Amino acid sequence: MSYGDHSITTRSSGFDRHSRKASDTPVDWLRAAPQCVIIAAIMAKALLDKVWDAHTVRTLPSGQTQLFFGLHLIHEVTSPQAFQMLREMGLRVRFPERTFATIDHIVPTASQVRPFRDALAEEMTAHLVSNCKEFGVPLFDLDSGRQGIVHIIGPELGLTQPGMTIACGDSHTSTHGALGALAFGIGTSQVRDVLATQCLGMDRPKLRQIRVVGSLARGVYAKDVILAIIHWLGVKGGVGYAYEYAGSAIQAMSMEERLTICNMSIEGGARVGYVNPDATTFAYLRGRPFAPQGAAFDRAVTWWTSMATDPDATFDDVFHLNAESIEPMVTWGINPGQSVGVGEPIPHPAEAPETDRAAWAEALAFMSFEPGRPIVGTPIDVAFIGSCTNARLSDLRAAAEVARGRKVARGLRALVVPGSQAVAKAAEAEGLHEIFQAAGFDWRKAGCSLCLGMNEDKLTGREICASSSNRNFKGRQGSPTGRTLLMSPTMVAAAAIAGEVTDVREWLR
Amino acid sequence: MSQDHIRRQIVGRGIPLPGHDIDTDRIMPARYLKSVTFQGLEGHVFEDDRRQASDHPFNHPRYHGASILVVGRNFGSGSSREHAPEGLRRWGIRGLVGESFAEIFIGNCIALGLPCLTLAPEDVTWLMEAVARNPEQEIVLHVEHRVVTFGDRTIPARLADAHHHQLVTGTWNATGALLEAGEAIERVARKLPYISGY
């Protein structure tokens, strides 16, 4: 791999990181101890610990922590059964004012006039509307101007704030960690529990710091960084961990770039990923509808700052990655860890660790890809710019720069799906939709779209899609045999125009 | 808690499903999430994989009636859809044993009362082969004692303490335990600056 420069270190401090609580340590011993560095390390806490402790209600009989959730986001797919269970138990929503709903997964993106053509989608929408009304939950409906993918609108509206705990019945809830929150994807039974109690029983995860240092080369984006991290740590490397993203490359990123990074934590197995709140975070939040206003904002900044990881905090382990060695990344297989730099060939299963060889062979067979062949030049049928990973204004701006004055390859389907109504409005105000349309892209309305096969946007047959989304699983984009190549939005735009996978860096010179 | 929620031991015939990183999109394709209930999901478990591979274990008559699913590494990765374990449960699965499980998936399984026991990789390989040779032989998941037995072989298994507690005491439906905290929930909420108005 040409983008090497990475390593993992484990700090063995001789005690369990989780048992280190300042309150557990006798003050006299602290004063007497000569090793000041050790004291600092003991006193110092990571954001994970501070937020966890602030939201702890009690220890459950199972030994888990009963953790309070400051924000619960719901959508039409994972909530209807939860509301029904609530009804059967005769319970209400405990904190309706801390619960917000939107519609994203099943919503069509061509026409959003109701009733939808798809009767099942219409039924799910009608249920969400009536459940929200019955239980007093605010809904960002299609006519609100605030509808969009749940992980786009939370930060965009200022609902997502540093120091919060957040739950949502969607695995990409990790996205919200970009603002310094602990955000957990959950299933429907847990949605029921949060509706009923605003709490969940949870085990505190271990903590891995991922330090990305240096500057990204032109044409290399946050998407490439997170794909590179998952490439090195694997799709299950983060199971049981929270990922704290840090280092000069992360600090230099905009909030939207950090959202892309945290979004795909779950693809590396980590249920939670976060970036410590800083000036970038505060500037992003100022003036957003649900962010604190006036003097309250300044007080909030003080608290938010105090929740960031202390300089001397320790981690269960630390992973180092040099940003300068990262190329634009492209996946060649059926999970997000199966990727190469765009300048590299599709790997041979013989190169895989022994335990992965069969999986690599299965992936290559499904993709009908030949090992040793360059990934560049792989023909594509569909190009998709969208999803909770990469459908924010900065993503669309970057892709539009590539599309400007060019034409989508003949016979290729290309669509741009803004992540929210607000993103769509802002993009249209800048004329981005006209750039895309002139190039032959479809300009759609906000929704999850072609990221998953739950609405009208789907692959058919063996189509290959260059996609800015987050999952290249078998069947993910709606055709059981369809194929997905994950990459950054600019790489997708370039592939749409070239008709094949191409190195976007050559287009930006 | 109720007596019929107690999961000290699960006994049933096994169904081995080789392969790693089998995600929840494969267990339950997204098009079957377009419903406001979980009804009928049992008919769609692994539907696309089964159509593409006639020898898929879930197609094979020899595994009809099996209730213990034996899987590889990182089973249930990806989407948080509870439709995946709910579909398996409705198909007849009562317990899972494998090399490792994705975190959200295992939480969803526990919330449905489905134990997920973890074995060493070589033990998973052995168990898959043994079940394939003798599908009539029952597997016993000794949840309480954290071991798995098959014939005369006893295999040590791992199960997180909290999940062990919830399964053996029948408290895996968490709502009741969480409600018992009562007003303590509101007391924590009031102390949070973002709720009190900073």
- DSSP states of A243-297 as a string? EEEESHHHHTS-HHHHHHHHHGGGGGT-SEEEE---HHHHHHHTT-TTS--THHH
CA A60 to chain centroid: 30
Neighbours of B108 (CB within 10 A): 26
Q: Is A31's pLDDT higher than 80?
A: no
Domain with B98, as residue range(s), is 3-196
Contact residues on chain A for B181, CB-CB shorter than 8 A: 57-58, 66, 197, 199
Neighbours of A294 (CB within 10 A): 7
What's residue B90's pLDDT? 98
The domain total for chain B is 1
Give per-residue pLDDT as tens, B137-146.
999 999 999 9
> What is the spatial distance between Cα A393 and Cα A257, in angstroms, rounded to a whole number?
11
Of A328, A477, A326, residue with least CA distance to A402: A328
Strand partners, B97: B70, B117
Give the model's confidence band at B3: pLDDT under 50 very low, under 70 low, under 90 confident, else very high.
Answer: confident
The per-residue b/e assignment along B130-161, b for 16 or more CB within 10 angstroms, e otherwise, is: bbbeebeebbbbbbebeebbbeeeebebebbe
What's residue A5's pLDDT? 63
CB–CB contact B37 A196 (8 Å): no
Contacts for B120 with CB less than 8 Å, ≥ 6 apart: B99, B155, B156
> What is the spatial distance between Cα B96 and Cα A156, in angstroms, rounded to a whole number?
40
For residues A416-422, average pLDDT: 98
CB–CB contact A78 B30 (8 Å): no
Neighbours of A183 (CB within 10 A): 29
**Is any Cβ of chain B less than 8 angstroms from the Cβ of A190?**
yes
Q: Tell me, yes or no, whether A289 lies in a domain.
A: no
Contacts for B137 with CB less than 8 Å, ≥ 6 apart: B13, B14, B130, B131, B150, B151
Give the model's confidence band at A146: pLDDT under 50 very low, under 70 low, under 90 confident, else very high.
Answer: very high
> What is the spatial distance between Cα B112 and Cα B174, in angstroms, rounded to a whole number?
10
Taking CA–CA distances from A86, the nearest residue in chain B reads B175
Q: Is A133's pLDDT higher than 80?
A: yes
What's residue A14's pLDDT? 34
What's residue B14's pLDDT? 98
Of A207, A245, A255, residue with least CA distance to A225: A245
Of A186, A458, A485, residue with least CA distance to A338: A485
Give per-residue pLDDT as tens, A371-399.
999 999 999 999 999 999 999 999 999 99
Q: Tell me, yes or no, whether A51 lies in a domain.
A: no
- Bridge-based pairing of strands A71-74 and A464-467 is unpaired
CB–CB contact A236 B21 (8 Å): yes
Which of B37, B77, B198 faces A236 most closely, judged by CB atoms?
B77
Tokens describing residue B111: 């919330």
Tokens describing residue A3: 């983008």
Residues A206 and A242: beta-carbon distance below 8 Å: yes
Q: Is A22's pLDDT higher than 50?
A: no
Q: Tell me, yes or no, whether A485 lies in a domain.
A: yes
What's residue A74's pLDDT? 98
DSSP A411-469: T-EEEE--SBHHHHHHHHHTTHHHHHHHHT-EE--SS-GGGSSSSS----TT-EEEESS
Residue type, A205: P
Across chain A, which distance is largest between two alpha carbons, in Å? 76
CA distances from A77 to A73, A186, A190, A324, B71 (A): 12, 12, 14, 40, 27
Q: Is A423's pLDDT higher than 60?
A: yes
Residues A414 and A408: beta-carbon distance below 8 Å: yes
Q: What is the dihedral of CA A131, A136, A137, A140, to 10 degrees?
A: 90
Write out residues 446-475 of A within 8 Å (CB-CB) of B: 452-454, 471, 473-475
Backbone torsions φ then ψ of A467, nearest 5 degrees: -135, 140
Of A219, A13, A201, residue with least CA distance to B176: A201
Whole-number mean pLDDT of chain A? 93
Give per-residue pLDDT as tens, B80-98.
999 999 999 999 999 999 9
What's residue A64's pLDDT? 98
The reply to whether omega before A115 is within 30° of 0 (cis) is yes
**SS3 (DSSP) at A50:** helix
What's residue B1's pLDDT? 52
CB–CB contact A271 B104 (8 Å): yes
For residues A81-101, average pLDDT: 98
Contact residues on chain A for B45, CB-CB shorter than 8 A: none
Give the model's confidence band at A11: pLDDT under 50 very low, under 70 low, under 90 confident, else very high.
Answer: very low
Taking CA–CA distances from B112, the nearest residue in chain A reads A189
Contacts for A261 with CB less than 8 Å, ≥ 6 apart: A178, A222, A225, A226, A245, A250, A253, A273, A275
DSSP code at position A18: G
Q: Tell me, yes or no, whether A344 lies in a domain.
A: yes
Neighbours of B65 (CB within 10 A): 12
What's residue A275's pLDDT? 99
Which of A124, A358, A452 faces B30 most closely, judged by CB atoms?
A452
CB–CB contact B20 A359 (8 Å): yes
Q: Is A37's pLDDT higher than 70?
A: no
CA A482 to chain centroid: 23
**SS3 (DSSP) at A351:** helix
What's residue A17's pLDDT? 53
- Bridge-based pairing of strands A199-202 and A182-185 is unpaired
Residues A98 and A198: beta-carbon distance below 8 Å: yes
Taking CA–CA distances from A266, the nearest residue in chain B reads B78
Q: What is the ipTM of this complex?
A: 0.97
Q: Tell me, what CATH number does A386's domain have?
A: 3.30.499.10
Domain with A497, as residue range(s), is 330-507
Give per-residue pLDDT as tens, A424-448.
999 999 999 999 999 999 999 999 9
Strand partners, A414: A383
CB–CB contact B188 A56 (8 Å): yes
CB–CB contact B181 A481 (8 Å): no
Which residue out of B178, B180, B196 would a mutagenesis test of the A interface target, given it has the greatest number of A Cβ atoms within 10 Å? B178
Q: Tell me, yes or no, whether A410 lies in a domain.
A: yes
Residue type, B12: G
What's residue A509's pLDDT? 72
Which of A63, A171, A186 faces B165 most closely, judged by CB atoms?
A63
Contact residues on chain A for B198, CB-CB shorter than 8 A: 292, 296-297, 299-300, 303
Q: Tell me, what CATH number does B68's domain have?
A: 3.20.19.10
> How far is the first Cα of chain A from the last one, in angstroms, to the nearest whole number?
24
CB–CB contact A64 B162 (8 Å): yes
Which residue out of A55, A57, A124, A170 would a mutagenesis test of the B interface target, given it has the greatest number of B Cβ atoms within 10 Å? A57
Phi-psi region of A296 (alpha: psi -120 to 50; beta: other; left: phi over 0): alpha
Residues B89 and B32: beta-carbon distance below 8 Å: no
Residues A213 and A248: beta-carbon distance below 8 Å: yes
CB–CB contact A193 B175 (8 Å): yes
Give the model's confidence band at A10: pLDDT under 50 very low, under 70 low, under 90 confident, else very high.
Answer: low
Give the model's confidence band at A42: pLDDT under 50 very low, under 70 low, under 90 confident, else very high.
Answer: low
- Bridge-based pairing of strands A329-331 and A339-341 is antiparallel
DSSP chain B: --GGG--SEEEEEEEEE--S--BHHHHS-GGGG-SSS-TTGGGGTTHHHHHH-TT-GGG-GGGTT--EEEE-SSBTBS---THHHHHHHHHT--EEEES-B-HHHHHHHHHTT--EEE--HHHHHHHHHHHHH-TTSEEEEETTTTEEEETTEEEE-B--HHHHHHHHHT--STHHHHHTTTTHHHHHHHHSHHHHT-
Q: Which residue has the higher pLDDT, A206 or B1?
A: A206
Backbone torsions φ then ψ of B19, nearest 5 degrees: 115, 155
CB–CB contact A70 B194 (8 Å): yes
Contacts for B55 with CB less than 8 Å, ≥ 6 apart: none
Residues B148 and B119: beta-carbon distance below 8 Å: yes
Contact residues on chain B for A68, CB-CB shorter than 8 A: 185, 188-189, 192
Taking CA–CA distances from A477, the nearest residue in chain B reads B30
Contact residues on chain A for B108, CB-CB shorter than 8 A: 187-190
Tokens describing residue B155: 């295999």
> What is the spatial distance between Cα A266 and Cα A242, in angstroms, rounded to a whole number?
10
What's residue A1's pLDDT? 44
CA of A358 vs chain B CAs: smallest distance (Å)? 8
The domain total for chain A is 1
Q: Is A26's pLDDT higher than 50?
A: no
Whole-number mean pLDDT of chain B? 97
For residues B12-40, average pLDDT: 97
CB–CB contact B194 A199 (8 Å): no
Q: Is A36's pLDDT higher than 60?
A: no
> What is the spatial distance between Cα A47 and Cα A30, in angstroms, rounded to a whole number?
22
Give the model's confidence band at A9: pLDDT under 50 very low, under 70 low, under 90 confident, else very high.
Answer: low
Residue type, A234: G
